[in-house]
Amino acid sequence: MTRRTFLQTALATTATVGAGSASGAAAELPASGRRVPIGFLGATYSHGPDKIRLTRSSPDWDLVGVCDESAAGRAVCEQLGVPRISREELFRRAEVVAVESDIRDHEAHGLLALQAGRHVHLEKPPAATMAGMRALVTAAREQGKLLQTGFMWRFNPGFRAVFEAVRNGWLGEVVLVRAFMGNHLAPDRRPEWAEFHGGSMFEQGSHLVDAVVRLLGAPRKVTPFLRHQGAFKDTLNDANVAVLEFDKATAVITNTALQAASSPQRSFEVTGTLGTAVLQPIEPPTLIMDLSRAAGPYSKGAQKVPLPSYTRYEDEFRELAAAVRGQGTLSVPLEEELLVGETVLRVCQMQ
């Protein structure tokens, strides 16, 4: 699968709209009566097309356009039917800039948008260096702007139920977290992931690092095991493990780009002194709670937890729009974004 074909596949379920209106026909207005102007800096990251589609149809947003001069970016805009605009126009018209460019550009594009005085939704992984991660957070603080990182499972109801159980003590004291995320990466996509020492752990495993750090805080020790094991003549670290040690708990994150399966296997398991929560698969979320005694809404023993339906990205963009309008705050503050970003780099030996 070529990169162009990959992007076309990602767009296959996306309907086009007339070139005269980037926002489409979303007539309903949010409770505030104000749609927030948003534009995209880059459109080539794999999550980008779906986020463009979402903001175009959501009553929370007024999509002003996409700034991307690359051939792949132009193809995305053409297939989505959204206008391409200059960077100058983007920074002039958009109140929020969503960075959905290639990974190598996330850090620089996020910083440009913040320095231009715009709120930023920054695709993950946010930065490839510690200095870059700190510069992003510093710019957001100095400009008084919002910075939201696009880790896609922050609003997954399975993760939210696990976090609730841990924070209310229903699982007892957490002693072990085990997390896995894998895929079978197409050979022609390996070079873009191989640009970074963290390889598939940096691109995919970072989702799990985000969850572990937000659950347990700052690890006192991080031990990465990054390996190239695929039969490919490249440098991509494609079979990886990271052990994160906390004062009273250990987390083990495993990741591979070599998984030969019909669908990616992804799981998150938390073991405490009073019970275990197993989220598998992560999408669609299926959660089993197994407790030694009744706690909170759960009975003693193993039980499948009913979870609400959800669609990726919807809740995070809804939260961002509300925060911009002054109707709430972001659930992940800047200091936590910094901790997550820096821990991702430690796990990937990129500090």
Range 163-175 average pLDDT: 98
What is the domain extent for residue 274? Answer: 157-311
Q: Could you tell me if 123 and 217 lie in one domain?
A: no
Q: Could you tell me if 204 and 129 lie in one domain?
A: no
Pairing type for strands 61-67 and 96-99 reads: unpaired
**Count of the separate structural domains present in the chain:** 2
Residue 208 placed within a domain: yes
Q: Is the pLDDT of residue 15 over 90?
A: no
Q: Could you tell me if 165 and 141 lie in one domain?
A: no
**Taking the C-alpha atoms of 279, 285, 286 and 292 in order, what is their torsion angle to the nearest 10 degrees?**
40
Sheet with strand 287-291: strands edge to edge = 221-227, 239-245, 250-256, 174-182, 266-272, 275-279, 287-291, 301-305
Q: Could you tell me if 80 and 191 lie in one domain?
A: no
Pairing type for strands 174-182 and 147-150 reads: unpaired
Q: Could you tell me if 93 and 175 lie in one domain?
A: no
Range 136-143 average pLDDT: 98
Q: Is the pLDDT of residue 280 over 80?
A: yes
Nearest CA among 187, 197, 205 for reference residue 235: 197
Q: Could you tell me if 143 and 284 lie in one domain?
A: no
Q: Is the pLDDT of residue 203 over 70?
A: yes
Q: Could you tell me if 8 and 133 lie in one domain?
A: yes
| pLDDT computed for residue 2 by the predictor | 45
41-55 pLDDT, tens digit per residue, is: 999 999 999 999 999
Residue 22 placed within a domain: yes
| pLDDT computed for residue 5 by the predictor | 45
Contact 58, 26 (CB under 8 A): yes
Q: Could you tell me if 243 and 295 lie in one domain?
A: yes
| Rounded-to-integer distance, Cα 310 and Cα 333, Å | 23
Residue 341 placed within a domain: no
Range 200-210 average pLDDT: 98
Q: In the structure encoding, which two tokens stand for residue 211, read together?
A: 């969850």
Q: Could you tell me if 302 and 182 lie in one domain?
A: yes
| pLDDT computed for residue 296 by the predictor | 97
- Please list, in sequence order, all residues whose beta carbon lies within 8 angstroms of the beta carbon of residue 264, skipping any fewer than 6 positions away: 181, 182, 183, 184
| pLDDT computed for residue 31 by the predictor | 60
Contact 247, 174 (CB under 8 A): no
Contact 55, 63 (CB under 8 A): yes
Q: Could you tell me if 167 and 299 lie in one domain?
A: yes
| pLDDT computed for residue 318 by the predictor | 97
Residue 351 placed within a domain: no
The CATH number given to whatever domain includes residue 37 is: 3.40.50.720
Q: In the structure encoding, which two tokens stand for residue 92, read together?
A: 């002039």
pTM above 0.95, yes or no: no
- Please list, in sequence order, all residues whose beta carbon lies within 8 angstroms of the beta carbon of residue 56, skipping any fewer than 6 positions away: 17, 22, 23, 24, 26, 63, 80, 82
Q: Is the pLDDT of residue 12 over 60?
A: no
Range 304-323 average pLDDT: 96
Residue 94 placed within a domain: yes
The mean pLDDT of the chain is: 92
Q: Could you tell me if 72 and 123 lie in one domain?
A: yes
Pairing type for strands 287-291 and 301-305 reads: antiparallel
Q: Could you tell me if 182 and 84 lie in one domain?
A: no
Residue 336 placed within a domain: no
The CATH number given to whatever domain includes residue 165 is: 3.30.360.10
